[in-house]
Structure 1
Amino acid sequence: MASEVDRPEWIPRAGIQLGKAGVQFDAVRVDGLRGRALAGRLARMTGGAAGPIVEEANGRRAVYFLVPVGSTSHRAWPESVTRLTAAANRISYIPVPALNGCTWPPTWRYRPTAGGHLVHARLLHAALHSSG
């Protein structure tokens, strides 16, 4: 788990900021209970080291899986999945909460690790298509 000392520079010290897709990471958004179940499945598949996952407590209850830049292309994703990436004439932003303090409605479901690894897109894709 990342501490304030080894906090990646893209994570705010307090509150929430919007991270621009295509700079430090891209994201895959899965809404509602399906997103929460997917996060849990991915954590089980990785022994608890799923990578950084942000979830929102309001609205569509979105779950954001932070993945390496460009790693979601060349895969068929279900229509219920939203890829947040950068491309020509396209800008996407992902909510990034601070590690500590009040950040509601987005919070860390799984916090970034000291090693800075992101969610593995191929593994996320496999978890999305597995039955449990």
Structure 2
Amino acid sequence: MTRQLFSRPEWVPEKGHCLRRTGVHFDAVCVSGPVAEEAADALAGASGGEPGPVVRETREAGRLYFLLPPGTACARHWPPGAVRLGGRTGVGYIGVPALDGRTWPLSWRSAPTPRAPFVDPALLHTVLCEALPGPEGCR
């Protein structure tokens, strides 16, 4: 995969991978299972091909972490099956791979770009509410 050259965000390691605390550099929404890839595909289509950073964890089949701007995950009620990490609740650590080189067991489903340094929270919310409808619907 050819990536557009740009200044690497400070929270992305130069090589390998590292843990970053949610709520500091970014918030995250974690989705597992086949719906995770379907949601990532829908997000890529809805964003014109630049959905923002999405980390794939290969040891946990089908687990994706959608990285949002810090402080934005708590602003929405996410549907069942989407786990919010960051902000006032759900603090955790996310493994972040380097942009290139050996990063197993992590990889970029889509890397941050100058145009999309983060996933758009409103767009992700819309995509996940369609993919993971809850009994009460999304708000």
Aligned partner of 2:135 in structure 1 is none
Given the alignment of the two structures, is residue 22 of structure 1 paired with residue 23 of structure 2, yes or no?
A: yes
Moved over 2 A (4+): 114-117
Q: Alpha carbon RMSD of aligned pairs, Å?
A: 1.8
- For structure 1, the residue ranges without an aligned partner over 5 or more in a row are none
For 1:26 and 1:114, the matched residues in 2 are separated by 18
Unpaired segments ≥5 residues, structure 2:
132-139
CA distance in 1 between partners of 2:53 and 2:76 (Å): 21
**Equivalent residue letter for 2:46:** M
Deviations 1:19-73 (A, max 9, x none): 1111111000001211111001000001101011111122243100000112122
Equivalenced residues, count: 129
Compute the TM-score of the two structures, normalised by the length of structure 2.
0.84
Q: Which residue of 2 aligns with 1:38?
A: 39
Q: Which has the higher contact order (CA 8 A, sep 6+)?
A: 1
* Identity level (%): 41
TM-score, normalising length from structure 1? 0.88
Note the C-alpha offset of 1:86. 3.7
Change (3 A) 1:91 1:72: closer
SS of the aligned residue for 1:123 comes to helix
Aligned residue for 2:74, secondary structure, equals coil
- CA shift, 1:95, in A, is 1.0
